[in-house]
Homo-oligomer: A and B are copies of this chain.
Amino acid sequence: MTDAYDPTRTAVLLVDPYNDFLSERGKLWPLVEPVATEVSLLDNLRAVVAAGRQAHLRILFVPHRRWQEGDYDDWDHPNPTQRLVQQRHTFARGTIGGEFHPDFQPADGEVIVQEHWAQSGFANTDLDFQLKQHGITHVIVIGLLANTCIESTARYAMELGYHVTLVRDATAAFEPAMMHAAHELNGPTYAHAITTTAGLLRVLENGEN
């Protein structure tokens, strides 16, 4: 990867860093654990966020809707994932599962975007607006899951005119095949750069900014 990132124009989008995904007691952790462990997900998320802050990139938290009583109940056609959330109460508001993992807490002044109802952090939220009011043109999309919220957020980012970077090992999925689909089959058709945590850190740290 040869792109450098101008810190005044680049943001890290940290998608859905909930305990339900990232903590041992999380409702979805058992489904994520095999891939997360293989890629060293938590170490890499910590490293990207730390390096981003160090390089003065803006970090935005991009959270999924925290489930609450009544959600989806009178919708005309919730999708399959939304029906699962409705049953499982994933990311339930007021529970630990619906809080951000202790290692991924917004620092002073970091933006927390409106919650998204489905997969894209841009859809039905203020993410595009927040990026514009902060002068951002390049986004690095990390978090969960590689083929759902990360991919939809990243596809939207490209459609909306942003430069998009994916980080192979700063995300996870329920199956290795989904990681492969996200990074080898689909990502190369829309993303501007696909790198690794180590590759990204070299760019952020080596004065190329």
Are B129 and A163 neighbours in the complex by a CB distance under 8 Å? no
Q: Mark A123-156, 1 if CB is under 8 A from B, else 0.
A: 1111011011111010000000001100110011
Are A155 and B120 neighbours in the complex by a CB distance under 8 Å? yes
Shortest A183–chain B CB gap in Å is 11
Bound: A74/B131 CA distance, A: 12
State how many copies of this chain the complex holds: 4
Q: In the complex, which of the residues B81, B123, B129, B163 contacts A117, with contact meaning CB atoms closer than 8 Å?
A: B129
Give the secondary structure class of A's interface: loop
Are B178 and A185 neighbours in the complex by a CB distance under 8 Å? yes
Are A119 and B181 neighbours in the complex by a CB distance under 8 Å? no
Chain B residue contacts of A123, Cβ below 8 A? 129, 156, 159-160
